[in-house]
């Protein structure tokens, strides 16, 4: 147990020096990881093609993961020690002030924390000088105060409060000392437990169990760190203010934030893309480790999605090096992980191309049924990658992003059910996701290095309703030059000019066989009754079984592909017919980004996001 004397004498500078040592190891591991990637794995893969080279590459990747693990764990130790010094120093300052007050009043402080004060004032019993005494401090008000020397210094012979004016001052000083010592002991115990947990198993193998343990370590360190570091992160500030904060940090401070709070830094709009990518790659491994240790369907689903994203990053790197490319396949743009998390139905923001250096940047919002799962990692990432590849045909300085920064509505256990699903048919998820999307877009503009970057907001399916909601926030979508709506069930407004970018900068792709873009209006649905795509009013509406009200309305307002809405409709393939062509209820809904299934739509999107223009037009509905 700490006493006030040991608390006074604690050398917090030595704790910080030790933290610097662990920080140096963490930084060395980080540099080692980069060197293995750049100077060993990359060069080996470029120069050698053999079984031995493949085996060597595999072992180097394991070494790379060892460096990654070392970087993470040593960074956590550094933060733990720095946080310990930070919290103890605060208690030292409280103690120091109490000791200074005691000295200034001529009081003395005993080894047990009691404060001795001199005689003063007059006794109410006989008018004599009220005696001095010693008072013990307490950390809890309204409880019996510990006695000193077996007496009751708060009383004189009358049983009344002592008239000695020094008593109240001594009592306050004693309480300050007691509180500082009590808090210091609590801090000491808390950090002792946290440091005891930061131990690795012997050996060089970093497996799933190691990352699961690392995830627990990170959670423990964040728990004990409390106000250290995290309190200074400007999470409630604008992206511009966050960028200014990040730019103001030293290299050592940045490393500490990255090691301890990769989940925070990696998802902080306004922080540069390369920094977010590095933080999120570290956090990805921690999240995988965390979910490996959890049960439940949500954990399993998100774990599959995270593992597939991890796999996609490895494949992307290999293809950029020229390995695993199919005949005629172009090397993909570099992959940046701009956001990752397990909140809600999961969060993932992935860019193909550097959004900070590219002149043209698009951010696509997915919709119906999207969540952090294996399907998202395979299909939605591909849509962003295909868009980036297409845009770079026209302008190499282009990046494309898929933004899953909100909870999209789910279709439900019956994959055919759309109408009648309260989540899908409500605008609530879109309205809740809109502020986050706008903040992300604001961050893109803040960190982009070009004077006037060309930003495109893309909404697919229900995601177009989210984009529509974002345009209605104060100021609209920050920096957006163009808006593309694909397979839209409506955007919540009735005119393209209400989206804030000018109607000539609103573009719509709507396949004639896409039932989501032809959902009946609420009035039409009321007439036809709610049902499923395969047997209810959606198919009936498309085939003409339900009377068209003649108002060009669909579920969330005016049909964006109608002349009444006033956007520019570009040509897309009609796509397979629902059910009839044997590809399911909504096959045409998923083809807009796909160069193999809808070349014309893909090329039009590519032209638009690259700022190239020259799209092929299609008549209004």
Q: Is 527 helix (H, G, I), strand (E, B) or coil?
A: helix
pLDDT tens readout for residues 237-291: 999 999 999 999 998 889 888 888 899 999 999 999 999 999 999 899 889 988 9
Task: Output the pLDDT for position 148.
Answer: 64
pLDDT tens readout for residues 78-121: 888 888 898 899 999 999 999 999 999 999 999 999 999 999 98
The beta strand positions in 492-555, using DSSP E, are 506-509, 553-554
Cβ-count burial 126-139 (b if 16+ within 10 Å, e if not)? eeeebbbbbbbbbe
Task: Output the pLDDT for position 45.
Answer: 67
Q: Above pLDDT 70, what percent of the chain?
A: 88
- pLDDT reading at 353 higher than 60: yes
Exposed, middle or buried by CB within 10 Å (0-12, 13-18, 19+), for 314?
Answer: exposed
Alpha-helix runs per DSSP H in 321-380: 374-375
Helix (H) or strand (E) holding 564: none
Task: Output the pLDDT for position 147.
Answer: 62
* 523: Cβ contacts below 8 Å, ≥ 6 apart: 549, 553
Antiparallel, parallel or unpaired: β 115-117 and 108-109 = antiparallel
Average pLDDT of span 124-140 = 84
Count the neighbouring beta carbons within 10 Å of the beta carbon of residue 112. Answer: 12
Antiparallel, parallel or unpaired: β 557-558 and 480-486 = unpaired
Task: Output the pLDDT for position 414.
Answer: 42
Determine which of 140-144, 370-374, 524-528 has the lowest per-residue pLDDT on average: 524-528
* 31: Cβ contacts below 8 Å, ≥ 6 apart: none
Task: Output the pLDDT for position 29.
Answer: 86
Average pLDDT of span 188-195 = 87
pTM of the prediction? 0.79
Mean pLDDT of all residues in the chain?
86
Q: Which pLDDT band holds residue 425 (cuts at 50, 70, 90)?
A: low
Inter-residue contact 75 to 258 (CB < 8 Å): yes
Average pLDDT of span 610-621 = 92
Instruction: Please name which of 395, 402, 463 lies closest in space to residue 433, comparing C-alpha atoms.
Output: 463
- pLDDT reading at 221 higher than 50: yes
Higher pLDDT, 73 or 619: 619
Place of tokens 């070392």: 70
Q: Which pLDDT band holds residue 49 (cuts at 50, 70, 90)?
A: confident
Place of tokens 């240790």: 293
């Amino acid at each position: 147990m700490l006493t006030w004397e040991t608390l006074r004498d604690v050398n917090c500078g030595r704790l910080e020096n030790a933290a610097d040592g662990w920080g140096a190891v963490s930084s060395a591991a980080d540099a080692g990881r980069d060197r293995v990637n750049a100077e060993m794995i990359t060069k080996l893969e470029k120069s050698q093609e053999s079984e031995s080279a493949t085996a060597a590459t595999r072992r180097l990747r394991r070494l790379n993961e060892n460096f990654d693990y070392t970087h993470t764990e040593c960074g956590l130790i550094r933060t733990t020690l720095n946080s310990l010094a930070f919290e103890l120093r605060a208690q030292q300052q409280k103690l120091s002030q109490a000791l200074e007050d005691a000295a200034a009043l001529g009081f003395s402080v005993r080894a047990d924390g009691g404060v001795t004060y001199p005689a003063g004032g007059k006794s109410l019993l006989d008018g004599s000088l009220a005696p001095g005494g010693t008072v013990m401090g307490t950390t809890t008000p309204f409880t019996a105060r510990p006695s000193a020397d077996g007496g009751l210094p708060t009383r004189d012979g009358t049983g009344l409060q002592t008239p000695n004016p020094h008593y109240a001052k001594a009592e306050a000083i004693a309480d300050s000392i007691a509180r500082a010592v009590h808090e210091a002991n609590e801090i000491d115990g808390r950090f002792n437990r946290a440091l005891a947990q930061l131990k690795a198993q012997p050996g060089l193998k970093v497996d799933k169990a190691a990352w699961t343990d690392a995830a627990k370590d990170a959670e423990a360190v964040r728990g004990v760190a409390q106000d250290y570091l995290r309190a200074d992160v400007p999470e409630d500030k604008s992206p511009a203010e966050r960028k200014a904060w990040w730019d103001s940090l030293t290299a050592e401070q940045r490393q500490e934030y990255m090691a301890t709070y990769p989940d925070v830094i990696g998802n902080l709009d306004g922080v540069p893309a390369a920094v977010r990518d590095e933080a999120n790659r570290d956090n990805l491994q921690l999240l995988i480790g965390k979910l490996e240790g959890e049960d439940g369907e949500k954990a399993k689903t998100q774990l599959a999605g995270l593992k597939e994203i991890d796999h996609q990053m490895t494949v992307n790197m290999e293809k950029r090096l020229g390995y695993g490319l199919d005949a005629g396949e172009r090397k993909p743009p570099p992959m940046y992980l701009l956001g990752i998390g397990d909140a809600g139905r999961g969060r993932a923001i992935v860019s193909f191309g550097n959004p900070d250096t590219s002149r043209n940047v698009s951010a696509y919002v997915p919709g119906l049924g999207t969540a952090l799962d294996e399907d998202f990692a395979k299909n939605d990432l591909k849509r962003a990658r295909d868009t980036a590849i297409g845009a770079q045909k026209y302008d190499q300085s282009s990046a494309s992003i898929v933004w899953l920064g909100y909870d999209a509505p789910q279709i439900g256990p019956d994959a055919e059910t759309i109408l009648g699903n309260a989540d899908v048919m409500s605008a609530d998820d879109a309205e809740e996701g809109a502020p986050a999307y706008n903040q992300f877009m604001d961050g893109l503009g803040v960190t982009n290095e070009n004077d006037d970057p060309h930003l495109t907001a893309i909404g697919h399916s229900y995601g177009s309703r989210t984009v529509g909601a974002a345009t209605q926030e104060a100021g609209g979508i920050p920096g957006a030059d163009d808006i593309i709506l694909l397979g839209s069930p409506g955007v919540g407004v009735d005119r393209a000019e209400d989206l804030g970018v000018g109607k000539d900068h609103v573009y719509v792709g709507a396949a004639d066989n896409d039932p989501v873009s032809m959902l009946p209006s609420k009035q039409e649905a009321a007439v036809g009754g709610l049902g499923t795509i395969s047997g209810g009013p959606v198919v009936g509406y498309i085939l003409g079984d339900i009377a068209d009200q003649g108002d060009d309305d669909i579920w969330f307002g005016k049909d964006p592909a109608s002349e009444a809405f006033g956007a520019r409709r570009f040509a897309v393939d009609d796509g397979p017919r629902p059910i009839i062509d044997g590809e399911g209820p909504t096959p045409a809904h998923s083809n807009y980004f796909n160069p193999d299934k809808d070349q014309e739509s893909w090329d039009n999107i590519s032209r638009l996001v690259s700022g190239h223009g020259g799209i092929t037009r299609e008549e209004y509905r």
